[in-house]
Chains A and B, each alone.
Chain A
Amino acid sequence: MKSDVKKRKKPRKLKVWEIIVGGGLATTIIFPIYWMIITGLRPQTETFSPTPKLLPTLTLEHYREVISEGTVLHGLWNSIVVATSSTVLALLFGVPAAYVLARWDFKRKSDLWFWIISNRFISPIVVVLPFFLIAINLQLVDTYLVMIIIYQTFAIPFVVWLSVDQFRAIPKEIDEAAAVDGASIIKTFLRIDLPLVLPSLSVSAILVFVSCWNELLFAQILTRSDAITGPVVALGYMSGYDIRWGPMMATSTLVVIPIILFTAALSRNLVKGLAMGAIK
């Protein structure tokens, strides 16, 4: 009885420890990101201060420097081109395949499914070694094309893996009704199922885009200057003895912020997509 009374009183009242835990959690997560942003915005001397200043003296000098150098913008542009084309291509290949895998049973389907899933376990270093040799022979090193192709090795399985569940969520009866009306399989796919999964497909698209945008190893080995991507440019500040923290963090911010805003804006749907994809 006693506990019942308590329970009725409790709701909507935050306990102190809950606020402390929540605050600590949020600070731990946000602080490094905040630190990156302000290191890009403060003079280098302040970065070196032994007692860190939480609030920066603002300056745009690093951003001016980074933008006038040009490689950063070039890299970001390349990242946009490569990630967008890779995503579109992976959707074109992966979505129809996911539809078939969700709707039909056939011989060796489980083997096929296992093969597609196991792609997630393959270390990119395994893929990039032979790709590099082939790319050298075909003179494809440092081109968009080789980047877009090698990104398909993880992008297509990722799309298939995420989309199969989305198609399964559509009742089979809809397809059967369409078949009774005489619609062909391809027509049913294009006119009925595809429009229905479109909202959740946008989640897959964003996740694939983010994984292409964030990729380092392939880009590091297969690009030199023309097709160099954002993360490789940011990493470039690491070489040499005097690390230019300001420009490095300004570049890092430029690489990360678009993705962060993107995902935060869509966080609700993204989490659903990621989590449901992971659970099933």
Chain B
Amino acid sequence: MKLKKVRQPKLPVAARFLLYPSIIALFVIGIFPLLFALWVSTRQYQLSRAYEPHTFLGIQNYITVLTSPEFWVALRITFTFLIIALPLQLLMGTLIAVYIYNLKSKSLSSFIRVILVLPIAVTPTITGLLGRLIFNSEFGIINYFLSFFGVAPVQWLADQRAAFIAIIFLDTWQWTPFVALVLIASLMVIPPQVLEAGRLDAGSGWNLFRYMQLPFLLPGFTALLILRTADILKMYDTVYAFSKGGPGVATELVSLYINRIGFGKTFDIGLGSAQAILLLIICITLSRTYIKIFYREIQV
């Protein structure tokens, strides 16, 4: 058999035939609209004033966005959400994963694992609507439950902090099980002999977890960190259905804010596009850094 060229050989024609259609498709539906958005973002483009000419504004829209406090507020809310929700979900997910992993009873552990799949399947929009039902200030079950602990009825949708807590609760309810499932899968990879040997060396409890299980969990953590960050930065459905960003702008994540500017009363698509492109830049920078930092660590 002939030796293949080691360095980046050319792709055979037939393989290109298999690869290119999706590249072209993604390019047409992914890159082309982005270029269009870039063009729109430099213009005066309000759908509510459809018959006005789309005058060229240069970077005026970008300056408007960057100097308007609203955009920064929306970003701050989004990142606050990320900084609270993500560690919470990772921590709880780890605890649940370790709990299930150490369960001696097979039937209980497989029962719980089936249960854990359920929230992932629930349509996020419905999670938001469901939130309105259970967090209702008059007849919601959450206030009823809290009343046993002497908590006065909370106005979940009228109080800014309460609304923020509620959306964190909803997202955590929906995604912590996913975190747990991914981490259980990582734990299952540990060969039993290794774990047995580890038990002799490291003992049990915290040490066993720290030195034997944590290293196996790291790839899972990395993947979850990347996936959940991406999902939270994109988050829209649950919050829109639950609070539409209110009260005021207390739960207005950046996607909701851009949506309000681009498709709300003013239909200012030019400004919305500028915001969208800035968001895209943030997302790409963040994902690059994430992947650079974490994937290197894993390979070493």
Mutual binders A and B: yes
Q: Is A58 an interface residue (CB 8 A)?
A: no
Contact of A160 among B22, B30, B122, B130 (CB under 8 A): B22
Contact of A93 among B25, B121, B234 (CB under 8 A): B25
**Given A26-B115, A107-B8, also A96-B33 (CB < 8 A):** no
Q: Mark A38-72, 1 if CB is under 8 A from B, else 0.
A: 01000000011111100000000000000000000
**Given A97-B22, A150-B29, A152-B29, also A124-B234 (CB < 8 A):** yes
Contacts of A259 in B (CB 8 A): 121-123
**Complex alpha-carbon distance, A9 and B280, angstroms:** 57
CB of A141, distance to nearest CB on chain B (Å): 12
Q: Is B151 an interface residue (CB 8 A)?
A: no
Contact of A97 among B23, B185, B240 (CB under 8 A): B23
Name the interface residues of B1-25: CB closer than 8 Å to any CB of A: 8-12, 14-19, 21-23, 25
Contact B126 A125 (CB under 8 A): no
For B13, the closest partner residue in chain A by CB is A185
Contacts of A106 in B (CB 8 A): 8-11
Majority-rule SS of A interface residues: helix
For A17, the closest partner residue in chain B by CB is B99
Contact A52 B144 (CB under 8 A): yes
Chain B contact residues (Cβ within 8 angstroms of A): what range?
35 or more
Contacts of B133 in A (CB 8 A): 35-36, 39, 245, 249
Contact B287 A14 (CB under 8 A): no
Q: Is A223 an interface residue (CB 8 A)?
A: no
Q: Mark A243-280, 1 if CB is under 8 A from B, else 0.
A: 10100110010011001101110010011101110111
Contacts of A100 in B (CB 8 A): 11, 15-16, 18-19
**Complex alpha-carbon distance, A130 and B144, angstroms:** 45
Name the interface residues of B135-153: CB closer than 8 Å to any CB of A: 138-139, 141, 144
Contacts of A214 in B (CB 8 A): 123-125, 237
**Complex alpha-carbon distance, A163 and B15, angstroms:** 16
Contact B263 A29 (CB under 8 A): no
CB of A233, distance to nearest CB on chain B (Å): 10
**Complex alpha-carbon distance, A48 and B138, angstroms:** 8
Contacts of B113 in A (CB 8 A): 267, 271
**Given A125-B259, A259-B123, also A185-B15 (CB < 8 A):** yes
Q: Mark A203-226, 1 if CB is under 8 A from B, else 0.
A: 000000010011111000100000
CB of A100, distance to nearest CB on chain B (Å): 4
Q: Is A28 an interface residue (CB 8 A)?
A: yes
Chain A count of residues within 8 A CB distance of the other chain: 105
Contact of A121 among B14, B230, B259, B262 (CB under 8 A): B230
Contact A231 B139 (CB under 8 A): no
Contact A231 B126 (CB under 8 A): yes
Q: Is A133 an interface residue (CB 8 A)?
A: yes
Contact B17 A131 (CB under 8 A): no
Contact A33 B118 (CB under 8 A): yes
Q: Is B120 an interface residue (CB 8 A)?
A: yes
**Given A126-B276, A131-B33, also A29-B227 (CB < 8 A):** no
Contacts of B112 in A (CB 8 A): 22, 25-26
Contacts of B220 in A (CB 8 A): 275, 278-279
Contact of A14 among B108, B114, B291 (CB under 8 A): B108
**Complex alpha-carbon distance, A217 and B116, angstroms:** 26
**Complex alpha-carbon distance, A157 and B30, angstroms:** 11
Contact A256 B126 (CB under 8 A): yes
Q: Is B206 an interface residue (CB 8 A)?
A: no
CB of B82, distance to nearest CB on chain A (Å): 13
**Complex alpha-carbon distance, A120 and B276, angstroms:** 15
**Complex alpha-carbon distance, A37 and B286, angstroms:** 40
Contact B186 A275 (CB under 8 A): yes
Contact A29 B9 (CB under 8 A): no
Contacts of B37 in A (CB 8 A): 126, 129-130
CB of B233, distance to nearest CB on chain A (Å): 6
Q: Is B272 an interface residue (CB 8 A)?
A: yes
Ordered by A's residue number, 21 sampled pairs between the chains whose C-beta atoms are within 8 Å are A18-B103, A52-B141, A100-B18, A112-B23, A116-B26, A119-B30, A120-B230, A121-B230, A121-B233, A125-B279, A126-B34, A127-B33, A129-B258, A129-B273, A131-B33, A216-B124, A217-B236, A235-B240, A256-B121, A264-B117, A279-B185
Given contacts A129-B262, A129-B276, A245-B133, 15 further A-B contacts (CB under 8 A): A14-B104, A22-B99, A25-B96, A30-B115, A36-B133, A47-B139, A100-B19, A106-B8, A106-B9, A106-B10, A106-B11, A121-B230, A127-B30, A132-B263, A252-B126
Give the A-binding residues of B (Cβ under 8 A): 8-12, 14-19, 21-23, 25-26, 29-30, 33-34, 36-37, 40, 96, 99, 103-105, 108, 111-126, 129-130, 132-134, 138-139, 141, 144, 173, 177-178, 181-182, 184-186, 219-220, 223-224, 227, 230, 233-234, 236-237, 240-241, 254-255, 258-259, 262-263, 269, 272-273, 276-277, 279-280, 283-284, 286-288, 291
Closest 7 CB pairs of A and B: A275-B185, A130-B33, A96-B18, A185-B14, A97-B22, A231-B125, A93-B22
